[in-house]
Amino acid sequence: MTRVLIIGLGVAGLATLAQLLESKTRSITVDACEVKDEPWTFISCGELVPDPSFLSRYVPKHVKEVLEVSHKFITENTKIVNRFSRIVLRILDREYEFRFGAYLIDKSRLIRNVYERFSAYLNRRIKTPVMHLLHNCEKGTTRVCFHSPSEPTGEYDYIVAADGFESSVYMYEHRKFLIRRDYLHLNCAAFRARIRDLHRDTIYIIVDPSLAPGGYAWIFPRGDDEANCGLGVHPRYGLSLPLQVENLLKKYNVGPRRNVVGKVLPLDGTVKPYTFFHGKLMYVGDAGGFVIPTSGAGINTAIYTGLKAAEAVLEGSSFSSKVKLLADYIDKLAEFRKPIDPLLTREDALRSVMRRVSGRLIALLAYYLMLGSSKPLHRLMFMIAGKVARVREEPEPEADLQ
Ligand SMILES: Cc1cc2nc3c(=O)[nH]c(=O)nc-3n(C[C@H](O)[C@H](O)[C@H](O)COP(=O)(O)OP(=O)(O)OC[C@H]3O[C@@H](n4cnc5c(N)ncnc54)[C@H](O)[C@@H]3O)c2cc1C
C-alpha cells in the first residue's frame, strides 16, 4: 500500500487529492493535513485566470500545456464568474489599453466543490499542522508528527507539501526561513469592493509607487457592481497596508470594501530544489514558489504542479522532471523581473524613464511582462529595461553650482 500525505488543501493540494483519488487505485491511501476547518474560507486572491487560447501565443509550448491542463481542471469543477477582453494599464497618471483574454473564477467555490467531491474518500483528515518530519533513508519512508498529541504519528511513502507560502514544511525540513533579506516577495491585501465608472469586461492594473511601491494594485470586475481588488507592496517600502487600501479606494473611486485578507506572494522563482528524499517530498504551488514572478499569477501553476505530483506518485516517476520546464520558465522571468524593481518602487525613476523613453513603450513592456511573454523581441525589451532601471538606481550626481 502506498501512503501519501498532502499538507495543505488550497488549489494545489486539492488538485493532487483529486488526481490521486480519481485514479481509483486501490493500493493508495491518502491523508490530508489542513489547518482550516473548511479549506475554502479566508481566500485572498484576485481570482483572475488567463484564457489559454489568448495567452498561448506568447508563452512557450510547455507553458501552454500548463494553461490548458489547469483550465480543464477549473472548468470541470466550477463556473466562470466573468470574462475579460481588455486590460487597462494605469501607469502613474496615464492610461494604456491592450487586448487581454482572461476570466474570473470563484476560487473558494472551486475549492469547496473539489473538497466535497473527494473528501469522503480520504483515509484521514488531520486538522492540525505538521510538527516534525523524519526521513528513514533505508525504508524510504517519512515519519510525520503533528502538533496535536491526539493525532497519531504517520508513516508515509510520499509527502506533498502544498501549504502555501512561506511553507512550514520547508522550514521544518531546512531549519531556516525561506525569506532572506533579498528574497523578492510582496505583502498583499485583497478585498471585494463596489465599482462605479469601470467597464465590466476590463481588467485594471495600476502601477504607481506612491500607492503600491514595488508591486501594483488591481481591480478585476466581477460582472455585477462589485470587483475583486487588491494591492501588493514590497515589504521594504510598504507603509501600512490598511492605509494603502484606503488610498486605492479614494484614488480610483471604488466603493466601501469588505473581506480584506492579507497574504504573502512569492516572486523570487522556484524553491530549489523542489523535491527532497529522492522525490518522496514534493513542493507544489506557492510552497514550491511556482508563481509567475512578472504577474503574480499562481492558480494555473498551483493546479498543474499539484496534478503532476499526483502523476509522479501514481507512476512512481520523477516530479522534478515533470515540472522542470515550468520551473525554468518561472526562474527566467524572475531574472527579468528583479532589475525592473527600481521602476516599481521609485516614482521619480518611473517618471524619468517614461519621459525619456516614452510612456507607451513602458506600458507595452509592462503588458508583455504581465503576459509572461517569451518572444525574443519582448525578452530583449525586458533586458534593456532592466539596464535602464539599474542606471536610474545609482545616486544622482551632485548639482554643478558654478
Ligand atoms: C492577494 C493575492 C492575489 C492573487 N491573485 C491571483 C490571481 O488573480 N490569479 C492567479 O492566478 N493567482 C493569484 N494569486 C496567487 C494564487 O492565489 C496562489 O498562487 C495560489 O492560490 C496558490 O495555491 P496553493 O494551493 O499553492 O496555496 P494556498 O492557496 O496558500 O493554500 C495553502 C493551504 O495550506 C494550508 N496550510 C498552511 N499551512 C499549513 C500547515 N502548516 N499545515 C497544514 N496546512 C497548512 C492553508 O490553510 C491553505 O489552505 C494571488 C495571490 C495573492 C496573495
Quick check: helix, strand or coil at residue 262?
A: strand
Instruction: Tell which atom from ligand 1 comes closest to the C-alpha of 261.
Output: 1
Window from 169-173, 252-256, 390-394 with minimum mean pLDDT: 390-394
Quick check: helix, strand or coil at residue 151?
A: coil
Ligand 1 probe mutation, 40, 147, 163, most atoms within 8 A of CB: 163
Pairing of strands 202-207, 80-91: parallel
Which residues lie below 8 Å from residue 70, measured CB to CB, with a gap of 6+?
Answer: 49, 299, 300, 301, 303, 304, 307
Distance from the CA of 226 to the center of ligand 1, in angstroms?
Answer: 22
Ligand 1 probe mutation, 78, 84, 241, 299, most atoms within 8 A of CB: 299
Smallest Cα–Cα separation from 97: which of 85, 89, 106? Answer: 89
Assess whether pLDDT exceeds 50 at residue 223: yes
Assess whether pLDDT exceeds 90 at residue 183: no
- pLDDT classification of 197: cutoffs 50, 70, 90: confident
pLDDT digits (tens, 9 = 90+) for 123-179: 999 999 998 899 998 999 999 999 998 999 999 999 999 999 999 999 888 888 877
E-state strands within 92-225: 94-105, 124-126, 130-136, 141-146, 154-156, 158-161, 185-195, 202-207, 217-221
With left for phi above 0 and alpha for psi between -120 and 50, is residue 336 left, alpha or beta?
A: alpha
Q: What is the pLDDT of residue 391?
A: 54
Smallest Cα–Cα separation from 70: which of 236, 303, 319, 370? Answer: 303
Q: What span, in angstroms and rounded, lies between the C-alpha atoms of 9 and 14?
A: 5
Cell of 347: 516614482
Distance from the CA of 311 to the center of ligand 1, in angstroms?
Answer: 21
Q: What is the pLDDT of residue 49?
A: 98
Instruction: Tell which atom from ligand 1 comes closest to the C-alpha of 232.
Output: 1
Distance from the CA of 11 to the center of ligand 1, in angstroms?
Answer: 7
Distance from the CA of 261 to the center of ligand 1, in angstroms?
Answer: 12
Write the DSSP assignment of 3-55 as a string of letters.
EEEEE--SHHHHHHHHHHHHTT-TTEEEEEE-SSSSTTSS-----EEE-HHHH
Distance from the CA of 25 to the center of ligand 1, in angstroms?
Answer: 28
**CB of 68 closer than 8 Å to CB of 44:** no
Calculate the CA dihedral of residues 182, 60, 362, 338 and round it to 10 degrees: 10
pTM: 0.95
Distance from the CA of 148 to the center of ligand 1, in angstroms?
Answer: 24
97 phi and psi angles, rounded to 5 deg: -115, 140
With left for phi above 0 and alpha for psi between -120 and 50, is residue 253 left, alpha or beta?
A: left
Distance from the CA of 44 to the center of ligand 1, in angstroms?
Answer: 8
Q: What is the pLDDT of residue 239?
A: 60
Q: Which residue has a Cα nearest atom 41 of ligand 1?
A: 129
Distance from the CA of 18 to the center of ligand 1, in angstroms?
Answer: 17
Distance from the CA of 284 to the center of ligand 1, in angstroms?
Answer: 11
- At position 272, the amino acid (one-letter code) is K
Instruction: Tell which atom from ligand 1 comes closest to the C-alpha of 168.
Output: 41
pLDDT digits (tens, 9 = 90+) for 279-322: 999 999 999 999 999 999 999 999 999 999 999 999 999 999 99
pLDDT digits (tens, 9 = 90+) for 228-247: 999 999 888 756 777 778 88
Cell of 9: 488543501
Kindly tell me the burial class for residue 284, based on how many C-beta atoms sit within 10 Å of its own C-beta (0-12, 13-18, 19 or more).
Answer: buried
Instruction: Tell which atom from ligand 1 comes closest to the C-alpha of 190.
Output: 1
Q: Residue 184 carries which DSSP code?
A: -
- For the chain, domain boundaries: 2-62+108-179+268-331, 82-102+181-266, 336-392
301-304 long-range contacts, CB within 8 A, separation 24+:
301/66, 301/70, 301/326, 301/330, 302/10, 302/11, 302/12, 302/15, 302/162, 303/11, 303/12, 303/15, 303/69, 303/70, 303/73, 303/74, 304/15, 304/66, 304/69, 304/70
Assess whether pLDDT exceeds 80 at residue 196: yes
Q: Which residue has a Cα nearest atom 6 of ligand 1?
A: 46
Q: Which residue has a Cα nearest atom 18 of ligand 1?
A: 298
Instruction: Tell which atom from ligand 1 comes closest to the C-alpha of 188.
Output: 1
Assess whether pLDDT exceeds 70 at residue 397: no
Q: What is the pLDDT of residue 30?
A: 97
Assess whether pLDDT exceeds 80 at residue 217: yes
For domain 2-62+108-179+268-331, the CATH architecture is 3-Layer(bba) Sandwich (3.50)
Distance from the CA of 399 to the center of ligand 1, in angstroms?
Answer: 48
Q: Which residue has a Cα nearest atom 50 of ligand 1?
A: 45
Distance from the CA of 266 to the center of ligand 1, in angstroms?
Answer: 10
Q: What is the pLDDT of residue 218?
A: 95
Ligand 1 probe mutation, 286, 300, 330, most atoms within 8 A of CB: 286
82-102+181-266 under CATH 3.90.870.10, yes or no: no
CA angle 377, 378, 381 (to 5 degrees): 95
Ligand 1 binding residues, C-beta < 6 A: 7-13, 33-36, 39, 44-49, 129-130, 162-164, 168, 188, 190, 230, 263, 265, 285-287, 291, 296-299, 302
